[in-house]
Structure 1
Amino acid sequence: MANANPTADGGGYDPEAIKAGILAEVSDLKETAKSFGFQAIQDGTWFAKFMKSCLSSYSL
């Protein structure tokens, strides 16, 4: 997010940059939820799928 840190450039927060960042995160979360499928969200198996996805980037 540009200008999200008020100390970075001596100015203040950029509300539009913050809003754009939040909207991008929400959009990403929506797509992630869709990828799990309704049944996985309903029965709770989405969490195991989520953890497997997160941990798959780590090597043993």
Structure 2
Amino acid sequence: MNSSPEGWGRRALTALALIVIISYGARLAYSLLAPLVPVAFSLIGVGLVALFFFQRRR
């Protein structure tokens, strides 16, 4: 009936470790990428303004 040689306790511990690793990775990615959000918005804004002015020249 048990398709896995390891017991449910070991599988639960493995799942918990996987959740902790994924959450730590997500937290690290957020801390690295969060300062780039204002820069990205400002670059998009400058690009839209430049696109608006260059479209009007044609």
TM-score bucket of the superposed structures, by smaller chain: 0.3 to 0.5
TM-score (structure 2 length as normaliser)? 0.45
Higher relative contact order structure (alpha carbons within 8 Å, sequence separation ≥ 6): 1
TM-score (structure 1 length as normaliser)? 0.44
Structure with greater helix share of residues: 2
